[in-house]
Chain A
Amino acid sequence: MLIQIVLIAVLLGALYVTWRRARQNVITLSEALLWSVLWIAAGVVIALPQTATLVANFFGVGRGSDFVIYASVVTLFVLVFKIFVAMEGLERKLTEMVRRDALRDLPKKEDAG
């Protein structure tokens, strides 16, 4: 099937780039391994869709493709939440900078009588 060939080609490309970057010391070895596992797992699911069904059945979900969708939703939710938390962190840093700027003309606590 065409889609399987295209997707696997893309994944092989990703795998190649991952290890190229690892050799260039852009990412660490453990990061490269983690990404490789992800790419290979995706490749296995694409080449042999019934493996997804096996995993799905283990989690009590009927169909492999359903399981992939559920897992994606959960993953996306976690990622979006992480972005929210990161934004909140940035907002607080921004406030801290705005505050420092607003207070710059006042004497420091030690100097005040």
Chain B
Amino acid sequence: MTGWTVLLRGMRYRAGRSLVVLILAAIAVTAAVLTPAYEKAARQSVLTDSLRDAPAYSTSLTVSAVGPVNSPAGEPLPDSTLVGDQAFGHRPLIKSLISRPTAAVDTPASLKIGSDTWGFRYVYRQGACKLLKVTGACPSDTGQIIVSDRAAKAHNWAVGQKLSIELGAGTPQVREIVGTYTPRDPVGSEWGAHVYFTEGVIADPNSVEKKGYPTDAMFAGAEEDVKAVPSATLNMEIVYPVAVGSVKLDDVAALRDQIASASVDIAGGDLALNTQLPGILDEVSHDQAEISRTIPVVAVPLLLLVVGVLMMLVATLTEERSPEIALAKLRGYPAGRASRFGLGEVLLLITLATPIGLAAGLGAAELAARTVLAPGVHVDVTDTLPLAAAGAALIAAFVAAWAASRRTVQSGVLSLLRRVPHRTGWRASAGEGIAVALAAAALVAAWQDRSSPLALLAAPLFAIVAGIIVGRLLRVFSAVRLRLARHRGNVATMLAAAQLARRPGRHRVVMVVTIALALLGFAATAWDVSAQARSTQASLTLGAARVYTVNATDTQALIAAVRQAAPDGSAMPVVRRSERYADDLVSVVGVPADQLGKVATWPGHSSAELTELGTKLRPKAGEQVKVSGRLTAHVTVHQLGSALLQLEVLIARPGQTPLYTSLGHLQKGTHDYTGTVPEGRFVGLALVRDAADGGRAQVSMDVESLRSDGSEPDVGDPSLWQPVRDDGITVNADGSLKLDVDATGNADFVVSYLDTPAALPVALAGEAPDDDRHAKTFTFLAFAEDPQKFAVVRTADGLPRAGVHGMLVDLDYALRRADATTGPTDGTRMISEVWANSAAPADLPQRLAAAGVTVTRTQTIEGLDEQLGRRAPALAWRLYLLAGVVAAALALALVLLVARLGAAARRHEFAALRVTGVKAKVLRRGVRREHMALIGLPILAGFVVGVGSAVLMLPGFPLVTVGEVSPVKWTPTIGALAGAAVAGLLCLIVALVVAVRLVRRAAPELLRGDV
């Protein structure tokens, strides 16, 4: 017989307990392995998510050149491709990530159709036809082109037709249409950042004047065709797509280096390497740093708890084996061999648990990766860190087992046989003192800087201190209760209090349960709060259930398209602009105020509140006055100085600067002043000086009427008229519009006709972008070229799409004000969107496309919420929740095990008490009271401490975004907190049931075995 036989038979004899040790040790190793494995997978997830979220063209490696034909941009594409191939071919990492490049060269071109000039990109692109649905032939030779189906339809082009196109400043080139196309995916990443498909889209209003209206790109059959005119500006690109999903965490540093060195090589070939990969990697590093900082801090308390529970378990089990160890010593086993015999089982179980824990840790991390991390992210099984963690856990568990069993194993035979309980040593008290001191330090650190590592450990430290206090208090309290119960003769309470006050190790159980529930309470609260914060942020960030970013010709086209696509009002057009103010980005979001309640979402606010907000954003204003053709002003000039002044009217046209149309020079007396105006909106009158006249202008006049094609602005309502500037002009109305001017200088005098509020009503989130941060009116750049006036009608902490610093305005009013003043701002500064509620048609993108608006990006609140759930803070909170659940499970396992280990002795005690006449009912009551105090009190106390810690600490933690703290808000809901409360209650019930079963099996007959 070998020692192994004894060991294995002993383990089999204590199969249940051995299994629990195995499980606990496996959990300890799992926790140790899970941390680095999950941390790495989480960092990989952030990397993959960020790279995938970025447009493909920005993560591609693009070798490019811009210039005329005789520059590097004009070199044959194969030659340029060779430069790229050579640069990347020498770099194994880049080589493994890139796929076959796509080379393209294009140049701006135009053609005349009637009197209009149409601009487009003339493109030669390798394999273009694979991305197009071509009707007819694919161009494959010089002189051949394909045009888009919609351009062909718009201009009545047909296959075989020849077009004369202009490239640069050269002579027109004749090209034959050999086919027509429709892009399979016009916004597909394969097209890169090029705007090839812009039929009718005015990307740059200036281009309309310079080059005419845009049309879709024309694809050439030969590279030489694009380079036919030497003066044409060529844009040559060789795009190497990067498989971003294959970029591994360990590759990041090497990738940066290789991109930098490849860039130098390519620059040597007079070409440039463009990519946004390094910038994206920089952004990713912030999240990764947060993960690296937070996750280990989360894992430490869990590991400590697991090791602590393991120590308690080993101590209890070793004590249970005292008689066996005594036997070994009695038979003359040397101290070392007796220790090995006493600890052998536990150490073997821990050793066996290590590979199980390693596999479980990697499995749990993989499960987390598959369920909560970015798609395609997996645990790196080749990483040595989890293996090292498993090894460290094994050693730590060995040390913990040795420390826990040291006193028992070193005891003498007689002590072991008598099983004298060990008293708590000074070391335990010192440890508790250190924990209390650390908790105090953490509280101070948190008070000063909540982001410090010590502050991050505050919650677990509070949990430990709570455990110590509750454990000690319960002992004292039970001793007092015992005295009282003895005095009153209350047997049930006496039994319960005696167990709690006297039985050794009970306070440790109380401590562990309190700590576990405190951790669980904190984690559950933090998870719920952060989940709600994420949901709120997702809602605020998007503003509606679905948000489509679109390409539209102009805002009016967008509005028309949305009306056509969603006539039921389930979607609405939105235009927004972001401007930097005082180092902060302020968003101005223009929404149809009357649809706000129906389409938008505003966390914490009802649809009715949104409707009410919409009403405030769109107060009643003057009627629009549409004019066209002849416009006549009936004016009486009472006084006129020496300065010559022209009476002009301002006509606004959508998307354009207002047009000044002269009605003639002012003359004293009553006259009709007439001019021809384009179709548009009457938005004001102007008294315009002659350019060279800077002298004193004096006028006193009444505008008695304005008429154009049946429209007639109300000249008698003073609220509808307002001078643009107050310098030298007074405006009154009393049946007629009275203007009095007395000023010097070159300035003209403009009086606006207000068919919108003079200052745009705005709902403001955050501080006003003004010197006075609490100003009720301010000016800011919005949809006009120049700053516009705003009047605050509502303030809030956050607004849909505007976020925590931005403003909501009525789109119609905002555009009208822009058209009426300086004209709309540069279209590139505006972002067009379509917001849709959950009831909007699923095929809205297709409907919008049919209406001429292309969807370039789709976002949903759920999707964004999910994405935020993969950011660093959420990943850390998720691990914390997992740690809390594991802690609670450990505590429950410990409670059940402790009950199980002492079960036989307790049954005999109960049986003896039954023989003495104590009723089973009384025993049951005693057991219930004992466990209510032993489990119930720590559960309650731990939970309260956990939630309290969360309330105290969470305001300093980033809940959603790294580096940003947000106010802690919690709305009662069925979430992790409720789950944790239910779990705590279930633990108590299970413990009670198990304990009460002891009494049921403690019949007096049990004692016969002792006789």
Asked whether A and B interact, the reply is: no
Interface positions of A (Cβ within 8 A of B):
none
